[in-house]
Amino acid sequence: MQLKFLGATGTVTGSKYLLSSGNFKVLIDCGLFQGLKQLRLKNWAPLPVKPSEVHAVVLTHAHIDHSGYLPLFVKNGFTGKVYCTEATRDLCKILLPDSAHLQEEEAEYANRRGFSKHHPALPLYTKQDAFKALELLTPVPFDQDVNIGDDLTLRYYPNGHILGSAFARIHNKKTSVLFSGDIGRANNILMKAPVQVKQADYLLLESTYGNRLHERDDPMLKLATIINKTVIRKGVVVIPVFAVGRAQELLYYIHLLKASGAIAEHIPVYLNSPMAVDATAIFSKHRGEHRLSKEECAALNRTAHIVNSVEESRALNQMKGPMIILSASGMASGGRVVHHLKAFVSKSNNTILFAGFQAAGTRGAAMIDGAKEIKIHGEYYPVRARVEFISNLSAHADYEEILEWLRGFESAPKKTYIVHGEPLAADAMRLHIEEKLHWRAEVPDYLETVNLD
């Protein structure tokens, strides 16, 4: 087998790995690049393989940096099956059309306001492209070998990151390769712990937090403190959320805080993300993958007022605090949350709270690093609101948690390839593995090809 790295090298986005076995080609993950402009431009560049020459796609999970390139891949000629878990299929039905809608909306807004350098500005793909891609999704169960063509077999194992997320193990009669996807955490309040995989000849391992440890204090206490201080200032807490995973986790924490009296029951909470609303409903459908009971799932839906229309979304920007707004996207790179930032980021009594990894080049990363102003729709807005960050709400395992999972292997892989991390994080993860486990580890380059013997 041969492996080519088409994304998530030197960055945490754009996950794509081309696995060739003889003449049979499989693309593992099909994600969009996000963040820095030079990364986003790669979404427009042709791949070094024609989509029509790829026989199958295997998704590890539904997040856009792992699935969001799929509509363009299909638009450009891919016609094979897209293998995924059932929950990934259900989430992609929400995420992919929404991704297309955002791109169409932003292109239309840029053309109307005239701030794009392109005339006309065009979306990367359309809703029609997204729906066409959804027709190819082929759900398969966890813990079952499935032949995906030629002599290749796929097996999914739950990895605890979000609903449907999985380790994907692909093997022929001689060699096995394990793709970690994004690895969840053993003690996450929502998701069950990642399943231990015992063996793989080769491993592709994410390294989002390869150089960092999550804080060990209780994130719920920090969340309560941030909310209460903002309430005293009669301000607004704007929380950019990832619609799948983070939104539900924060809603559950807010539910617990109100139930315990740690924050006032009367504080209005608004969930302004149609995608997050739909994703929350999917939790009830796939209860075997998470820790919440039927009653706790119902509590998620009662915690926030659902913002259903664009008019309601705009009306929020004219309201005064105290109130809490959860809105996508999690890195403030698009969606309705950027309009809330325009309304609230320049007022000192407000708080902008980030609760997940912020990729380089995103507004979230800039604000956490102390940016004095942010650019939105061609205009600059001063940052006067308090910017807070709760790092240990991440759904990604830190490097110690990953090492603990790796120690469960019965034998070391022949080589571990470190992917899906910023350069410093990826190299730090490599060092941790080499020094503590004495495994062979390597950080591959973009478009590098390796032979798997």
Peptide bond preceding 329: is omega within 30 degrees of 0, i.e. cis?
yes
* Structure confidence by residue, pLDDT tens digits, 284-302: 899 899 999 988 888 887 8
Q: CA-CA distance, 264 to 253, in Å (whole number)?
A: 13
Report which secondary-structure segment, H or E, holds 113: helix 86-113
Provide the 3-class DSSP secondary structure of residue 131: helix
Task: Break the chain into its structural domains and give their ranges.
Answer: 2-212+395-451, 219-393
Is the domain defined by 219-393 classed in CATH 3.40.50.300? no
**Residue type at 109 in one-letter notation:** Y
CA distances from 270 to 230, 260, 273, 312, 323 (A): 16, 20, 9, 10, 8
pLDDT of residue 92: 96
Report which secondary-structure segment, H or E, holds 151: none
pLDDT of residue 98: 87
Q: Which CATH class is domain 2-212+395-451?
A: alpha beta
Query: DSSP E strands: which ranges in 146-268?
Result: 146-149, 152-158, 166-171, 176-179, 202-206, 236-240
- Helix 246-260 and helix 219-232, axial crossing angle in degrees, nearest 10: 70
| Residues of the chain predicted below pLDDT 70 | 114-118
pLDDT of residue 14: 96
Q: Which of 292, 134, 321 is nearest to 234 (CA)?
A: 321
Whole-structure pTM value = 0.90
pLDDT of residue 32: 96
Cβ count near 249 (within 10 Å)? 23
pLDDT of residue 300: 82
Residue with tokens 């290749």: 152
